[in-house]
Chains A and B, each alone.
Chain A
Amino acid sequence: NAGVTQTPKFQVLKTGQSMTLQCAQDMNHNSMYWYRQDPGMGLRLIYYSASEGTTDKGEVPNGYNVSRLNKREFSLRLESAAPSQTSVYFCASERTGESTEAFFGQGTRLTVV
């Protein structure tokens, strides 16, 4: 059981380049999330998807776009990377039921130079 898988794990971009961060979960969860975490800070929500085919903005959506390709996959795209987007990006999926629990991927460490 892989849980939440993110690719790539590391990436260096030049300012203005674009890239897509991939995320996939194999737990059949409806909701998925993208966060960013800057050094010494907590996680900030970029976008989320409550179900396949729906996406909504979180706290810091500017400069990002997302696609919920199917129930398993939720991708995050940087159209024109900026140094301010240097961060660690985490994808998560959410299980509801007896408790509401988020399962996180291992993160993508992105550096924009």
Chain B
Amino acid sequence: LAKTTQPISMDSYEGQEVNITCSHNNIATNDYITWYQQFPSQGPRFIIQGYKTKVTNEVASLFIPADRKSSTLSLPRVSLSDTAVYYCLVGDGGEGYQKVTFGTGTKLQVIP
């Protein structure tokens, strides 16, 4: 299983762009990179998934360099409601989440 390393916590002011980087040095060829968001007392929620280069949706962007050994989740212009824990997951989408490990995530605190 590919292990991921991400910062334990980050602080950001409202309106700023936040970039959370995840390191996954032993990512396998078939592995996808997925990010989840979790608010207190709720289950995690899917944010974005990618394999290489850049993926963008209405919530975030995911940047993946050519060697795929790291990835960066970018949240544009964060608000207080973006305060949450963000998990970086690496695994084979074809085999499902039984091959995926949730680490401790990055606790993002947005400051007014």
Q: Closest CB of chain A to B19's CB: distance in Å?
A: 21
Question: Cβ of B96 and Cβ of A99 under 8 Å apart?
Answer: no
Report the count of interface residues on A (CB-CB < 8 A): 28
As a 0/1 sequence over residues 36 to 55 of chain B, the CB contacts with chain A under 8 angstroms (1 = contact) are: 10000111111001000000
Most A Cβ at <10 Å: residue of B32, B43, B94, B104 = B43
Question: Cβ of A99 and Cβ of B93 under 8 Å apart?
Answer: yes
If over half of B's interface residues share one DSSP class (helix, strand or loop), that class is named, otherwise mixed; here it is mixed
Known: A92-B97, A100-B93, A100-B97. A106 touches B49 (CB 8 A): no
Known: A100-B34, A104-B45, A106-B42. A42 touches B97 (CB 8 A): no
Across-interface contacts of A92 in B (CB, < 8 A) = 43, 97
A48 to B32, CA, bound (A): 20
Report the count of interface residues on B (CB-CB < 8 A): 21
Q: Closest CB of chain B to A48's CB: distance in Å?
A: 5
Given contacts A33-B98, A99-B46, 7 further A-B contacts (CB under 8 A): A40-B104, A43-B102, A45-B98, A59-B101, A94-B96, A99-B34, A102-B46
Residues of A within 8 A of B (CB): 4, 31, 33, 35, 40-45, 48, 50, 56, 58-59, 90, 92, 94, 96, 99-107
Residues of B within 8 A of A (CB): 32, 34, 36, 41-46, 49, 87, 93-94, 96-98, 101-105
